[in-house]
Amino acid sequence: MKILVTGGAGFIGSNLVDALAERETDEIIVADDFSSGKRENVAQHASNPRVRVAELDIRNKDAVRAIMRGVDAVYHLAVQCVRVSIRDPYLVHDVNATGTLHLLTAALDENIKRFVYCSSSEVYGTATRVPMDEEHPPAPTTPYGASKLAGEVYARSFFLTYGLPVTVVRPFNTYGPREHFEGPYGEVIPKFVVRALNDAPLVIFGDGTQTRDFTEVSDTVRGLCMAGECDALVGDVVNIARGQEVSVRTLAQIVLDTLPESKSVIEHQAPRPGDVLRHYADITKARRALGFEPRIAIREGVKRYVDWLRRSEFDPRAMLRQEKLRNWE
């Protein structure tokens, strides 16, 4: 198989590339524009002749068509994120919706055997019922969520209209090694950990009762791979998550429990625009169709992330300075 992974130098994408490379049979093209993805995330594959890294902006239709030639399967993870969408919805639409359309049309021309669209739980918005199964009505609260839903609708329409073998995966709140801590790309777990390592306040926007279904990246990647190999899910959508509801306030305490030497305290600030209030996934379909079972509980996952960060070459003090500087961009 020749597999294209868009956004392959990003957080989830690079972990997916690691998993695919372990098969030792497939050829992998890592495509990224490096706006948020990092070359160092895939540097470990530099000597692997089966892994090729290519710079690609999926807004460029001709470049997409060129890189798709001869490809058998696509895992589409290239994305612009939630916070960017608040300040620049046009950019996020162009990447997440129009870029997806470019990939789908090229995939159709190349007779792709499988197209896995990595969507987001953000398409649901705030839960109106829990746990949230795949039939939960979509009600995105941000332009990001809207753009990801648009990409989903395009993907499934290509299945219905042209028979393109598309599968839509909705991951929930993935965290773990290589996750962004800085600026608009930063997510809550790495931000909390970096701040706790520096005895800085753990900032919660709102009262902290908002919940998420935090899913360790190895579980998310395993779910993506399983979905990409499941014929029964072609033309369908599936949640990949831990299946556990955790409040942001509880998460902050878990981080402090994991780093008992930290002198950090929890600090509350005004709620952010577009934040969902409740996410809690129903993963019945993933269990039934894929045999998927999440393996990493939140406390273990946070500890794994802290251990990874300590083994890495990151300087926590420099990370905090960078996070504070970019937090206002």
C-alpha Rg value of the chain to the nearest Å: 19
144 is catalytic: yes
Return the structure tokens found at 188.
């809550």
Closest to 103 (Cα-Cα) out of 44, 59, 40, 51:
59
Distance CA 112, CA 54 (A): 19
Task: Find out whether 255 and 299 touch, Cβ atoms under 8 Å.
Answer: no
Q: Which of 144, 154, 175, 280 is catalytic?
A: 144
* Cα 132 from Cα 180, distance rounded (Å): 26
The sign of the torsion formed by the CA atoms of 201, 202, 203, 209 equals negative
Strand extents, DSSP E, 57-96: 73-76
Could you tell me whether strands 51-55 and 73-76 are parallel, antiparallel, or unpaired per DSSP bridges?
unpaired
Decide if 261 contacts 196 (C-beta within 8 A).
no
Q: List the catalytic residues.
A: 144
